[in-house]
Amino acid sequence: MAKVKRRSPFHALITTMLSVRSRDGVTHRVAARLLKEAPTPEDLCRMPLKEVEKILRPLGFYRQKARNIKEAACRIISEYSGQVPDTLEELLKFRGVGRKVANIVLYNAFGKPAVGVDTHVFRIVKDRWGLLPDAKEPEEVERFLMENLPKNMWGKANRYIVAFGQAICKPVRPQCDTCPLRKECPYPHRSSDQI
């Protein structure tokens, strides 16, 4: 897999906040347009809410996201001297930032070891690989991966498992017939067109 280019912390934060419950392709298009118009926290804080909403319209929950990213931009200026904070505790103080978003930003923007658990990571680790069948919260999977993976794999785990979940171990019709993990995986392997 190609080496991941580190993004500026502000761009990583905004793009990741926008990605929640939205498809990757739309998120990247919308984020690129927004960050072209408002590349810095100052620009985004100054941008009228209606204008932010207009750009974010193709995304789910766009009004809520517009309010949250604008508020985050203004707080980055007023409370963090214009710099996105680089700790989980501080990132979690922004409205619209949960553990998944915060951990992805910590890894993508700051190169810190952190495991982002999204729906792909949660369902594959818990149900498909059967590693934590009773897990109720993403935080349990996050803890499990941190305890069982070397630290230098924590950040990459999200990227690899998400890509695997999108291409092979899909939520519907997983490609078990051609999956390289078929021998190790405990999931019942019916032919993928029967699943």
Helix ranges (DSSP H) in the chain? 9-19, 24-37, 41-46, 49-56, 62-80, 88-91, 99-110, 119-123, 138-148, 154-167
| Neighbour-count burial for 124-138, b at 16+ CB within 10 Å, e otherwise | bbbebbeebeebeeb
Stretch that binds ligand SF4, among 33-41, 68-76, 90-98, 167-175 (CB under 6 A): 167-175
* Residue number with CB closer to ligand SF4 (96 or 165): 165
Does 179 interact with ligand SF4 (rule: CB under 6 A)? yes
Which CB sits closer to ligand SF4, 78 or 175?
175
Handedness of CA 28, 33, 39, 45 (dihedral sign): negative
Contact of 159 with 108, CB cutoff 8 Å: no
Stretch that binds ligand SF4, among 30-38, 113-121, 138-146, 184-192 (CB under 6 A): 184-192
Amino acid at the residue 180: P
Residue with tokens 């495991």, as numbered in its chain = 115
Main-chain dihedrals φ then ψ at residue 189, nearest 5 degrees: -95, 80
Contact between residue 84 and residue 76 where contact means Cβ atoms under 8 Å apart = yes
Site for ligand SF4 in 117-136 (CB under 6 A): 128
Interface with ligand SF4 by CB under 6 A: which range of 22-30, 68-76, 139-147, 178-186?
Answer: 178-186
Q: Does 176 bind ligand SF4 (CB under 6 A)?
A: yes
Is 181 a binding residue for ligand SF4 by CB under 6 A? The answer is yes
By the rule CB under 6 A, 149 interacts with ligand SF4: no
- Identity of the residue, 110 or 129, whose beta carbon is nearer to ligand SF4 in the bound complex: 129
Question: Is 9 among the residues that bind ligand SF4 (CB under 6 A)?
Answer: no
Binding site for ligand SF4 (CB under 6 A): 128, 168-169, 174-176, 179, 181-182, 185, 187, 189
